[in-house]
Structures are given as C-alpha cells and as structure tokens.
Structure 1
Amino acid sequence: MSLTFVRDPQVTPGLREEFSRLWYDVSRAGGSVGFVPSVTEEEVRAAAGAQFARVAAGEHRMLGAYAGDGESGADATGGRLVGTAFLRLHTDFKTRHWSMVVLVMLDPGLQGGGHGLRLMRETVDMARDAGLEALRLEVRGGMGLESFYGRLGFKEVGRVPGGLRLAADDYRDDVQMWLPLD
C-alpha cells in the first residue's frame, strides 16, 4: 500500500473527525499516544480539539499520512488519514532550533509493514526543511519503541524510571530520545 504525506494539511471538519478516529483506534490498540485503552471517544475528541487549537495557533505543525482510493476522504489526496506526527515548536529563543515530535500514530492495521519508518522519515525531512537542527521525542518504556526510533538514528538521552503511571499498578519509564539533524 502506498501512502501520501501532506505537510500542514488544511484543518477541515473531515480531518478533525478522521484524526479523532485514528487517535481513538491507536489508543484502544495500546499505542503510546497519551491515553490507555480504556479511553472514551469523547475524551479523545476533546483532546483532538485542543490539538488542533495548537495547530491553529502555530504552536504545532502537522504531518498527515493518507491511504485510499483517490475518491473519498478528509484531505485533497482523496485518501483516508492513517497516520500523523506533529512538531511542537518552541518560542523560547534558547530552544527554537529543535522541536519535540508528538502524537506519532499509525493505523494499527498498517503497523509492521514499514509505514511507521516512512512516516518518521518524512517527519525528519519536514523538520530539516523547516530549518530545525534537532528533534526530541519521549517514549513509554517497555514497548520496544527505543529500538524502533533507534533505527532512525534517535539516541536515548534520558530516562526517568517509573516516570509514567498508566494505572495504579502500571508504571513505565519515561524515555527521552534525541536526533541531531546535521
């Protein structure tokens, strides 16, 4: 399956709905995207609204990955939104040279086919084209994500043992990773 990547897609009602659906599906499948599988659609929809407010304010840039038949969907690509990544931009002069990568998501049915690596490579290219010098991301320990991002050149630069509490008895390491964009 081929994916089409769109940087800073137009935020339409259709995109909002597809993004909420994607975030919900990824969360329910156990994805490390800010929720646990017991999340409700209403919780995700509210968070999606806040995310698009950050995009509208220029605080975040969005990369959308689309797959489809070329006839229907939320974007001019005619495809269905199947993946995202956002660059959280900094306003402080000391950190404007790098960006935090957040909400990296891929439709659970597409995982394992190399699409996630393509999504992240396009995210890195988008950051380079924006003149950024480095990327940082945080991952939930215990999910093999350090290895995935390591294949793209990200290095672990910090770890807070038990820094994330997903449930009363489920603590995970909060792992910080860094990629210089030279």
Structure 2
Amino acid sequence: MALIFELDPAVDPALRDGVLALWADVSNAGGAVGFVPPVTVDDIRPELVKHFAAMAEGRGRLLVGYDEEGAVAATAFLTLNTHRLMRHWLWLYTVMVHPRHQGKGYGRDLMAAAADAARGIESVEAIRLTCRGGMGIDRFYASCGYKEVGRVPDAIRVAPGDDRDDITMLLPLNRC
C-alpha cells in the first residue's frame, strides 16, 4: 500500500510526537538525519521546534507521508530561501522514511511528492539538498534526478576519526 502524502498538515501533538518518533527511529537505525545513535526524542525535540518555528514564520513547509495505519512514516521539510537573489530555489531537509517501510519504494515516492510540492510554490525552479557522504545516499538522490553540484571533503564529523563529505545536490524543476 502506498503512503498518503500531506503538505502542511496541522501541527498538533499527534503530528509532533509522530515526527519525533520517526526521527529517533531513523537516527537510531543509522540514518543520516543530523544525529548519530543513540538518540532520544528529547535530543531531537529542539531541532523539530526550529523547523516548526520556520513553518510558523512562513519560511518552511512540511511534507508528511502517512502509512495505512495513519502513522507518520515519512517526512521532508521544504525550506524557502529568504535571500533575495536566491528565492528561485529551496532547501530540502530531514528527508526520512521509517526503517520498517524502507525497501518499498516509499523514499522515491517521498522525493516525487517533494518535487511536486516545490513545483506548486510560485517562482521555485530547483531543489537543493545536502547529504552525508560514505552512505550511498547520494546515489539514491541521483536516481531521483538530482545532480551533485558540490562537495566539501571531511566536513561532517560523525565521530572522532570518522569524517564524511558534505555533498550538495540539485534538482532543477522542469515546469510544463
């Protein structure tokens, strides 16, 4: 069964708790979403509050994928670029699919839904994202149409002696 995607869902305790649980589960499974395991929802909460603040200020949007039980199973945050010379593209952050749903094509569905959401934002012509090197995530994004446009060697320190490249990728949004 496919996920049901919703852009800009109402932020309520169920959504908050669902995103926190997803983020913790993805992080603790080794996902590259800003943390290294082990983490708790309390570790993640301040980062989620920052995303929610950006949403409340009109600088960000949330795309949520719900599974057949109505649980939060996937997310991506679309962050509008506020620099006056760069408003024609946005950032995609915290792209996650719950580990129990991985391998079902939901990641590709999430990326397509994020591109569709970005196309719906006036004047947005491209999506940029960054990912952690050494995990193969860049190959997944490339398979979704993204191109590597920059790389900073050893910019992400996962642990002492474990530095990873910070890879920037771009998806031009072909508008019809």
Note whether the superposition's TM-score is higher than 0.5.
yes
List, as ranges, runs of 4+ consecutive aligned residues in structure 1 with deviation greater than 4 Å: none
TM-score of the two chains, using structure 1 as the length reference: 0.92
Number of the residue aligned with 1:9: 9
Give distance in 2, aligned partners of 1:36 and 1:154: 25
Q: How does 1:4-83 map to 2 (within 5 A)?
A: 4-69=4-69, 79-83=70-74
Partner of 1:76: none
Instruction: Say what the alpha-carbon RMSD is for the aligned residues.
Output: 1.0
> Which residues of structure 2 form unaligned runs of 5+?
none
Q: How big is each residue's C-alpha offset from its partner over 1:37-96, in whole Å with a ceiling of 9 and x where there is no partner? A: 122321112222222111111111110000134xxxxxxxxx111000111101221011
* Matched AA of 1:151: S
Identity %: 48
Alignment partner of 2:90 out of 87, 92, 99 = 99
Which residue of the partner structure matches residue 119 of structure 2?
A: 128
Q: Distance in 1 between matches of 2:82 and 2:50?
A: 19
| Aligned length, in residue pairs | 173
Instruction: Spell out, residue by residue over 1:140-174, the C-alpha distance to the aligned partner (whole angstroms, 9 max, x if none).
Output: 00111111011111000111110100111110010
Distance across 2 between alignment mates of 1:40 and 1:67 = 22
Indicate whether 1:86 and 2:77 are aligned: yes
Match 1:141 to one of 123, 133, 138? 133
Pairing 1:180–2:172 present: yes
Pick which of 85-94 and 43-52 moved more: 43-52
User: In structure 2, what is the Cα distance between the partners aligned to 1:100 and 1:50?
Assistant: 15
CA distance in 2, matches of 1:83, 1:144: 19
- Residue 137 of structure 1 deviates from its aligned partner by 0.5
Give the distance between the partners of 1:41 and 1:130, measured in 2 at CA. 31
